[in-house]
Amino acid sequence: MHKIISFYINLVNGSLNEKTVKKEPANLYDPIDYTLSLGGKRIRPALLMLANNLFDGDDKMALNSALAIEVFHNFTLLHDDIMDEAPLRRGEPSVYKKWNTNVAILSGDVMLMQSIQLLSKKNHPNLHRVLSIFNATAIQVCEGQQYDMDFENSTTVSIDDYLKMIELKTAVLLAASLKIGAVISNASSDNAHHIYEFGKNLGIAFQLMDDILDLYGNSKKVGKRIGGDVIVNKKTYLLLKAQELATGKSKKDLEFCLSSSVLDDDTKVEKVKTIFNSLNIKKLAVEEMNLFYNTAISHLDSIDANESKKRVFEQFAKGLMNREN
Amino acid sequence: MHKIISFYINLVNGSLNEKTVKKEPANLYDPIDYTLSLGGKRIRPALLMLANNLFDGDDKMALNSALAIEVFHNFTLLHDDIMDEAPLRRGEPSVYKKWNTNVAILSGDVMLMQSIQLLSKKNHPNLHRVLSIFNATAIQVCEGQQYDMDFENSTTVSIDDYLKMIELKTAVLLAASLKIGAVISNASSDNAHHIYEFGKNLGIAFQLMDDILDLYGNSKKVGKRIGGDVIVNKKTYLLLKAQELATGKSKKDLEFCLSSSVLDDDTKVEKVKTIFNSLNIKKLAVEEMNLFYNTAISHLDSIDANESKKRVFEQFAKGLMNREN
């Protein structure tokens, strides 16, 4: 991680941890403090600060918006954990488990409002533009979550549907963070567009890498068991691509693996991997991922700004995609 | 209802019903259309328009903010219905019953974002001020809902706690609607303050009247069974005041009524009413209500604006409190 990104991560963490007056009612505000204290990489706010810096913006002008993005992101986690029935968040009980669903709903609502409050704390000439980007993005993130839930019960999800879903659910928030930083620093529309597209395409590439690593990664490096997505029939890029391409025996075999209740987990992962390999799924997924990654880099190249500052973004992108070497 | 208020109610309903492009995903947007189609009195947005008109503002400048208030109000109903496990809303299934809890959470989230989007659709010199009022109010409404839920399990709710709760949960949104209308029309800080306080105090008075009518109203006029709050031990102003004042036998009798499982509903209502009457609760509640109502009117009087326009607000307040005659 480049030292300027670490600097911004520390700045964001410092601001989030600033002790404020104990707020009442406690059942509303304690879950918010708890959620923000669980940590997280703070990548989005750091990139917002970095984008603002790229166009020679003042850190002070951007910090509240950076915090807004982080609070918003944590709001989505709080409500997503209820919807996904996820008992843990960063290794600790999620809010709806530690308190209850009502507390998680209402505390989440307040976090969403706090993010708008942070975003519009200071009046500045670009406030209206920043709000437009943020509002549109926030709604897209909810659309992505709804598509993701809809897909669980759907048998007709296409690759295009899937790419649209991951774009909405995860990539646009990364993209908007960068664009808001750019807009606060008064960047041109062209530059704001290119940094948005850089973030969006990088976010999609990252999600595809995540899908690939589930089955083809090194379990030690990935930090979770190999084939976790396969075991629960998760509709990843790999599975959807295989369903698109499989015919004859491989189609039958795949259907058997997805519906069988007799296969143990290891055998299922092994069998599905064999089918994927016969269909060249890994290669196709890597090609798709590279397409998005290269599109991201070409948008970065198109930005009219200091070249050495731009290289920090490229270095970050490489690091994110494990492409250091 | 004065004809200008009816005019604004129709304007708001017309705008809410404008057919827009069918939005996807349907599971996210259908519940929003459904919620807004259930109706409602549209009092808050109409009062926002009226306050804007009071200071000679342009209707067109205020309409999006009026819609924002109505969408926000409906967002709170959507999430409150989950938390309160309310199966019906305006006589129809509530969203979490018609769809499910996840849909109700996420559609509500989008409505909250849509309200911010409506509020900040147009750029104008007072946008920052409007957002400050709205954000602070939105958070207060959530605080009010949390206090209300906390009170259900508390045995130490004071009259002051209760007044603060109804102020936050219902009165501040009415107050903010009026203030936002005033601010959009460039009203002075003094005038914006007075119209806010008019709305806040009127809102509290209205809620106290609601408490009084539950037990002392005409069941035909109120439209629900008399003593509904008493039957479920709801912590209204009447009950809290009685608990504050009761001593000796009346204290024992009241405690018996609240905890007994042998009393049938009618007997319970009758017994509690007798205790309340012995403590002069109705008179005390009416006095408290009048205090807030008169404070509201004195703030209205302090507003520096066209007197005949101001009288429309007074007439509205009288109508709201059934004081036509």
List pLDDT tens digits, range A265-299: 999 999 999 999 999 999 999 999 999 999 999 99
Residue B133 in any domain: the answer is: yes
B127 touches chain A (CB under 8 A): yes
- Give contacts of A120 with chain B, Cβ < 8 Å: 128, 131-132, 135
Strand partners, A88: A93
* Residue in A with minimal Cα distance to B128: A123
Provide the residue range defining the domain that includes B9: 1-148
B76 with B205, same domain?
no
CB contact under 8 A, A109 and B109: yes
Residue B165 in any domain: the answer is: no
* pLDDT number for residue A325: 34
B1 with B129, same domain?
yes
B86 touches chain A (CB under 8 A): no
- Give contacts of B25 with chain A, Cβ < 8 Å: 143, 146-147, 150
pLDDT exceeds cutoff 80 at A185? yes
Identify the residue whose tokens are 């991951």. A166
B143 with B214, same domain?
no
Burial of residue B36, with CB atoms counted within 10 A of its CB: 0-12 exposed, 13-18 middle, 19 or more buried: middle
Query: Which residues neighbour B179 within 8 Å (Cβ) at sequence distance 6 or greater?
Result: B51, B133, B192, B193, B195, B196, B199
CB contact under 8 A, B110 and A82: no
Angle at B82 between CA A101 and CA A165, to 5 degrees: 75
Which tokens sit at B321?
Answer: 């409190």
Nearest chain B Cα distance for residue A268, angstroms: 31
Residue B214 in any domain: the answer is: yes
Q: Is A124 helix (H, G, I), strand (E, B) or coil?
A: coil
Task: Tell which of B148, B171, B205 closes a domain.
Answer: B148
B144 with B229, same domain?
no
Task: Give CA–CA dist B305/A254, Å, rounded.
Answer: 75
Closest among B47, B298, B33 to B173, alpha carbons compared:
B47
User: Own/partner pairs for B296-301, CB < 8 Å, 24+ apart?
Assistant: B296/B197, B296/B198, B296/B199, B296/B200, B296/B201, B296/B202, B296/B205, B297/B198, B299/B194, B299/B195, B299/B197, B299/B198, B299/B201, B300/B194, B300/B195, B300/B198
Backbone torsions φ then ψ of B152, nearest 5 degrees: -55, -35
Task: Tell which of B120, B148, B176 closes a domain.
Answer: B148
- Give contacts of A114 with chain B, Cβ < 8 Å: 139
Q: Around A253, how many Cα atoms within 13 Å sit in the side-chain half-sphere?
A: 19
* pLDDT number for residue A279: 97
Q: Indicate the DSSP class of residue A279.
A: T
B207 touches chain A (CB under 8 A): no
B83 touches chain A (CB under 8 A): yes
Q: Identity (one letter) of the amino acid at B112?
A: L
The model's confidence at residue A324, banded by pLDDT at 50, 70 and 90, is very low
Q: Is A304 helix (H, G, I), strand (E, B) or coil?
A: coil
B193 with B325, same domain?
yes
B102 touches chain A (CB under 8 A): yes
Q: Around A292, how many Cα atoms within 13 Å sit in the side-chain half-sphere?
A: 23
CB contact under 8 A, B25 and A131: no
CB contact under 8 A, A105 and B106: no
Domains in chain B: how many in total? 2
Query: Which residues neighbour B301 within 8 Å (Cβ) at sequence distance 6 or greater?
Result: B310
* pLDDT number for residue A224: 75
The model's confidence at residue A223, banded by pLDDT at 50, 70 and 90, is low
Rounded to whole angstroms, what are the CA distances from A15 to A28, A63, A65, B118, B177?
21, 9, 12, 30, 32
Nearest to A105 among B79, B127, B132 (CB): B79
pTM for the whole structure: 0.95
B316 with B193, same domain?
yes
Task: Give CA–CA dist A222/A238, Å, rounded.
Answer: 17
pLDDT exceeds cutoff 50 at B324? no
B117 touches chain A (CB under 8 A): yes
DSSP secondary structure of B36-72: HHT----HHHHHHHHHHHHTT--HHHHHHHHHHHHHH
* pLDDT number for residue B222: 65
A110 touches chain B (CB under 8 A): yes
B81 with B218, same domain?
no
* Residue in B with minimal Cα distance to A107: B142
- Which H, E and C letters describe B109-163, residue by residue? HHHHHHHHHHHCCCCCCCHHHHHHHHHHHHHHHHHHHHHHHHHHCCCCCCHHHHH
Average pLDDT, chain B: 95
Residue B177 in any domain: the answer is: no
Q: Is A89 helix (H, G, I), strand (E, B) or coil?
A: strand
Residue B290 in any domain: the answer is: yes
B73 with B207, same domain?
no
> Testing the interface with A: which of B131, B133, B164, B183 to mutate, by most A Cβ within 10 A?
B131
A86 touches chain B (CB under 8 A): no
Residue B312 in any domain: the answer is: yes
> Testing the interface with B: which of A28, A82, A183 to mutate, by most B Cβ within 10 A?
A28
Mean pLDDT of A17-41: 90
B12 with B142, same domain?
yes
The model's confidence at residue B19, banded by pLDDT at 50, 70 and 90, is low
A220 touches chain B (CB under 8 A): no
Nearest chain B Cα distance for residue A42, angstroms: 23
Burial of residue B30, with CB atoms counted within 10 A of its CB: 0-12 exposed, 13-18 middle, 19 or more buried: middle
pLDDT exceeds cutoff 80 at A222? no
Strand partners, B92: B89
Q: Where are the alpha helices (DSSP H) in chain A?
A: 3-17, 26-37, 43-54, 59-83, 95-98, 101-119, 127-152, 159-166, 172-184, 189-216, 219-222, 228-231, 237-245, 248-259, 265-278, 281-302, 307-320
B29 with B134, same domain?
yes
* Residue in A with minimal Cα distance to B119: A131
Residue B52 in any domain: the answer is: yes
ipTM, interface predicted TM-score of the complex: 0.94
List pLDDT tens digits, range B132-153: 999 999 999 999 999 999 999 9
Residue B154 in any domain: the answer is: no
Nearest to B128 among A114, A116, A123 (CB): A123
Which tokens sit at B34?
Answer: 């459904």
Mean pLDDT of B6-14: 96
Backbone torsions φ then ψ of B76, nearest 5 degrees: -65, -40
Query: Which residues neighbour A81 within 8 Å (Cβ) at sequence distance 6 or greater?
Result: A89, A94, A95, A96, A104
Instruction: Say what angle helices B281-302 and B307-320 make with each other, to 10 degrees.
Output: 160
Nearest chain B Cα distance for residue A130, angstroms: 10
- Give contacts of B138 with chain A, Cβ < 8 Å: 113
- Whether the upstream peptide bond of residue B25 has omega within 30° of 0, thus cis, is yes
Identify the residue whose tokens are 């850089």. A198
B81 with B224, same domain?
no
B138 with B271, same domain?
no
pLDDT exceeds cutoff 60 at B197? yes
Which tokens sit at A321?
Answer: 């995609």
CATH code for the domain of B113? 1.10.600.10
